[in-house]
Structure 1
Amino acid sequence: MSTDENTHIDLESFWPYQVIVLADKISRYTLEVVRSEADINQSQWRVLAAIADKPGRTAADVTAVTPMDKTIVSRAVSSLIEQGLVEKTPSQGDKRRSTLETTAAGLKIYSTIAKKLATTLIPSGEGDPSNTEFVRNLKEFSSRMDKINQAQSSSKT
């Protein structure tokens, strides 16, 4: 298959490709840390981290911030509850909704994993200006992608 010179993408300098490669490396490393520190999988870790980050989130909130399929989030929540790492509390105003919180055991696991990840992935510290700038750029690119995806979804309907 030949490629027109005007449409050729140099993967070494194409930032979307490099972000995918980086995300894969981070995911693999995170999985190894999660496996070595706790008896949970990657999905369970992502749910646990989302709940520990903001206690009181609902499963729908977790789905929105992770972003994972709601079925995967539901299974992860159920297994974390079974393991005693998360607890579900029915909402006082709407019994169909429940809020999620980490238990003491869940918070201990979260803290152990989070500390190891922060130490190895952010060696210069979160307050480092280069880290702050990097995160700002990531959020800007993410926002651009949200707009592109919304426009694409709108054009299909």
Structure 2
Amino acid sequence: MQNMNGNSFYDTHEVEKLTTIYNRMIRLRINDTLKEFELSESNFFYVLLVCESPGVSQDELIQNIYRDHSVVTRAISKLIKDGWLEKKMSSADKRRTELYPTAKAINNYQDIFDRITVVNDESISVLSEEEIKQFEHILEKVIKSGIERERLAGRKISELF
């Protein structure tokens, strides 16, 4: 299908298409890799982050990753229900709740981390070291530019860097 100028959507939006395909491939592989843990590409990340920063608040997680508050809340609630995380009232500030890994999370952390590392390494295995550095640099540049556009438009945006 072509637009009035004779261009197709995919011709003019190749980067978006390729990024979407790459993202989907990684997400499918992560889901398959973590199936036995009953974790998915949308919630394993929180387990790793909380294991690495016990006592982090949900608000701090939201500020440091690019996810909507409601998405994080649902994921955290599911992980608490499934025995991966626990939420405790802060002893220093009773208005603050903190997230902690359970024994289940701590005991499985390294295996999950290693499996995700394999998926990530496999996804870029066809690239040279220099290409990997370029790829990372280009992604950071595009993301930072997008964040700046969001800020200039007055939208609240999470810090990524």
TM-score under structure 1 normalisation? 0.74
Determine the structure 2 residue equivalent to 1:116. Answer: 115
User: Cα RMSD (Å) of the superposition?
Assistant: 2.9
How far does residue 31 in structure 1 lie from its aligned partner after superposition?
1.5
Alignment of 1:119-134 (within 5 A): 119-123=118-122, 128-134=129-135
1:34 aligns with 2:38: no
1:57 aligns with 2:56: yes
Segments of structure 2 that go 5 or more residues without pairing to the other structure are 156-161
How far does residue 78 in structure 1 lie from its aligned partner after superposition?
2.5
Maintained 8 Å contact 1:90/1:98 = yes
Measure, in 2, the Cα distance between the counterparts of 1:18 and 1:31: 20
How far does residue 142 in structure 1 lie from its aligned partner after superposition?
0.7
Measure, in 1, the Cα distance between the counterparts of 2:42 and 2:94: 26
- Letter of the 1:73 partner, please give it: V
Q: Which has the higher contact order (CA 8 A, sep 6+)?
A: 2
How far does residue 106 in structure 1 lie from its aligned partner after superposition?
0.5
Superposed CA deviations along residues 109-155 of structure 1, whole A, max 9, x for unmatched, are 3322221121232156xxx554344223211111111122334456x
Determine the structure 2 residue equivalent to 1:81. Answer: 80
Maintained 8 Å contact 1:43/1:73 = no
How far does residue 86 in structure 1 lie from its aligned partner after superposition?
1.4
**Cα gap change, 1:4/1:54 in structure 2, threshold over 3 Å: closer, same or farther?**
farther
Maintained 8 Å contact 2:89/2:96 = yes
**Cα gap change, 1:75/1:8 in structure 2, threshold over 3 Å: closer, same or farther?**
closer
Determine the structure 2 residue equivalent to 1:17. Answer: 17
Is the partner of 1:46 in helix, strand or coil?
helix
Measure, in 2, the Cα distance between the counterparts of 1:119 and 1:12: 33
Measure, in 2, the Cα distance between the counterparts of 1:147 and 1:129: 27
Is the partner of 1:30 in helix, strand or coil?
helix
**Cα gap change, 1:12/1:81 in structure 2, threshold over 3 Å: closer, same or farther?**
same
**Cα gap change, 1:32/1:143 in structure 2, threshold over 3 Å: closer, same or farther?**
same
Is the partner of 2:34 in helix, strand or coil?
helix
**Cα gap change, 1:102/1:23 in structure 2, threshold over 3 Å: closer, same or farther?**
same
Maintained 8 Å contact 1:86/1:101 = yes
Determine the structure 1 residue equivalent to 2:158. Answer: none
Determine the structure 1 residue equivalent to 2:91. Answer: 92
1:136 aligns with 2:137: yes
